[in-house]
């Protein structure tokens, strides 16, 4: 048994609707971990006397202890694509991404990128992510094997693409279906691993591949579906041209049974009124990728609109269109995107989004994104004063909200003191 002592912060509701009642903060708190789960959460003074002899107490005071962060969309094959110059989506895909993704056919390469990615996510305090692998089934196999070795709760899938990509990066409707099905049978629900059926986007799938993806989703309703939509005007025009019979871009996914409550729809920047309605009716999740949307010049995600339309929103890095592995940095950019639209996002709102908010969007809030007893012990320990700039700025912070806003605005992996995965310290 292990207990972590520090300032506990977590959410039981959404601060945008529940205000101050949404968060729990324990100034001198104790988090008791046992068997990979959180066993007790509360005041150190009350819990310390109850601990069995021999319990290891890790004193993280005065640092913050929060649920591990959750990243709802990123690409494992793009860890060496991040920071590629001068292009918007379609050119960027062809010029950089599809070139690097071909290397995943090489023996050992998916393993190498996966190890790098998981090291970097954990160093950034991220303990769960929804991950696109490459078209090669062995890329998903390598990813899940490494995630299982580390006991991280991860969602991943083999990308399906059968057109508009280099021949070396395409499967066929039939092999995409069969290989995905085999991966689902092998990995979905094994330990902490979960599968996402992953047609990359309508542009790179034929109607037959979309149909079989929908069939796979119907056959495995507890798997996720992850894809891209309404990111960039040229992409939208191309998708509409390829699927002239569908009402709109969302209609394409709808027509093939790919828009449901487990669908993680990347970007949604240019959703129309009709499309927001379809999302709300289906319960589909709009995945906001701030650093990517700015880096690729894709546009400004309308957070207030999504909320107004009662659409669930998740947030994500979208590595390597995105430019940071840190969910803190991601939320700093989210704040600026909202500012440009006259919207605002409090520090509590941001920290909620990357913990409980994303857990709710993924339907995993009974397991992760919280410090409630009975949930999985994925935890991040944060030092808001880790950098000179932040320590200096915090000299004038008057309360918790101000301190957290500094953390969210200036913070990144440098603020991560420790990350615990199922109760064990990562990288220790
Ligand atoms: N749309 C289809 N594939 C991708 C991708 O890899 N990254 C981003 N940002 N958008 C996409
Ligand atoms: Zn993406």
Q: Give CA angle at 210 (206, 211), nearest 5°.
A: 115
Alpha-carbon Rg for the chain, nearest whole angstrom, is 21
- The residues, any chain, with a CB within 8 Å of residue 82's CB and separated by 6 or more, are 319, 320, 322, 323
- The residues, any chain, with a CB within 8 Å of residue 252's CB and separated by 6 or more, are 202, 210, 239, 243, 246
This model of the complex carries an ipTM of 0.99
Q: Report how far ligand 1's centroid is from the alpha carbon of 228 (Å).
A: 7
Q: Report how far ligand 2's centroid is from the alpha carbon of 99 (Å).
A: 16
Average pLDDT over residues 156-172: 98
Fold of 2-68+371-425: Urease, subunit C; domain 1 (2.30.40)
Identify the nearest ligand to the CA of 238 by its number.
1
Instruction: Check if 131 has its Cβ closer than 6 Å to any atom of ligand 1.
Output: no
Query: Residue 225: left if φ>0, alpha if ψ -120 to 50, beta else—which one?
Result: beta
Ordered by start, the domain boundaries in the chain are 2-68+371-425, 69-361
The two beta strands, 285-288 and 312-315, are parallel
Inform me whether the pLDDT recorded for 303 exceeds 90.
yes
| Per-residue pLDDT tens over the stretch 175-193 | 999 999 999 999 999 999 9
Instruction: Check if 292 has its Cβ closer than 6 Å to any atom of ligand 1.
Output: yes
| Per-residue pLDDT tens over the stretch 227-272 | 999 999 999 999 999 999 999 999 999 999 999 999 999 999 999 9
Correct CATH for 69-361 of 3.40.470.10, 3.40.640.10, 3.20.20.140, 3.40.50.460: 3.20.20.140
C-alpha 105/C-alpha 241 separation (Å) is 31
Give one DSSP letter per residue of 89-116, joined into a string: HHHHIIIIIHHHHGGGGSTTHHHHHHHH
Q: Report how far ligand 1's centroid is from the alpha carbon of 258 (Å).
A: 17
Q: Which atom number of ligand 1 is nearest to the Cα of residue 298?
A: 9
Inform me whether the pLDDT recorded for 1 exceeds 80.
yes
Kind and range of the H or E run holding 73 = strand 69-75
| Per-residue pLDDT tens over the stretch 22-44 | 999 999 999 999 999 999 999 99
Instruction: Check if 201 has its Cβ closer than 6 Å to any atom of ligand 1.
Output: yes
């Amino acid at each position: 048994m292990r207990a972590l002592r520090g300032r506990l912060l977590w959410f039981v509701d959404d601060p945008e609707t529940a205000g101050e009642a949404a968060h729990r903060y324990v100034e001198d708190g104790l988090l008791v971990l046992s068997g990979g789960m959180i066993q007790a959460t509360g005041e150190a003074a009350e819990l310390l006397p109850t601990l069995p002899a021999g319990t290891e107490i890790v004193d993280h005071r005065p640092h913050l202890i929060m649920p591990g962060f959750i990243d709802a969309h990123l690409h494992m094959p793009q860890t060496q694509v991040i920071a590629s110059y001068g292009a918007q989506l379609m050119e960027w895909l062809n010029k950089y991404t599809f070139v690097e993704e071909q290397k995943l056919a090489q023996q050992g390469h998916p393993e190498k990128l996966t190890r790098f990615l998981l090291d970097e996510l954990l160093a950034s305090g991220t303990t769960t992510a929804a991950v696109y692998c490459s078209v090669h089934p062995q890329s998903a196999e390598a990813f899940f094997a490494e995630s299982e070795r580390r006991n991280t709760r991860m969602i991943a899938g083999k990308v399906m693409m059968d057109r508009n990509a280099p021949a070396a990066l395409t499967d066929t409707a039939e092999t995409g279906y069969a290989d995905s099905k085999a991966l689902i049978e092998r990995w979905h629900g094994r330990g902490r691993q979960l599968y996402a059926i992953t047609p990359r986007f309508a542009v790179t799938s034929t109607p037959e591949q979309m149909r079989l993806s929908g069939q796979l989703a119907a056959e495995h309703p507890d798997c996720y579906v992850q894809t891209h939509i309404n990111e960039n005007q040229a992409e939208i025009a191309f998708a509409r041209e390829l699927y002239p019979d569908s009402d709109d871009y969302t209609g394409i996914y709808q027509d093939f049974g790919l828009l449901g409550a487990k669908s993680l729809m990347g970007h949604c920047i240019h959703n129309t009124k009709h499309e927001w309605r379809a999302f709300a009716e289906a319960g589909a999740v709009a995945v906001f990728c701030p650093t990517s949307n700015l880096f690729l010049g894709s546009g400004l995600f309308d957070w207030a609109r999504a909320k107004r339309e009662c659409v669930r929103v998740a947030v994500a890095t979208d590595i390597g269109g995105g430019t940071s592995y840190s969910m803190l940095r991601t939320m700093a950019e989210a704040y600026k995107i909202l500012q440009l639209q006259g919207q605002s996002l409090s520090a509590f709102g941001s920290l909620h989004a990357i913990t409980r908010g994303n857990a709710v969007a993924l339907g995993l809030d009974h397991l992760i994104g919280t410090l409630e007893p009975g949930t999985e012990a994925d935890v991040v320990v944060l030092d808001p004063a880790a950098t000179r700039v932040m320590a200096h700025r915090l000299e004038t912070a008057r309360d918790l909200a101000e301190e957290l806003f500094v953390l969210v605005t200036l913070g990144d992996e440098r603020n991560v003191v420790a990350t615990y995965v199922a109760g064990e310290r990562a990288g220790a």
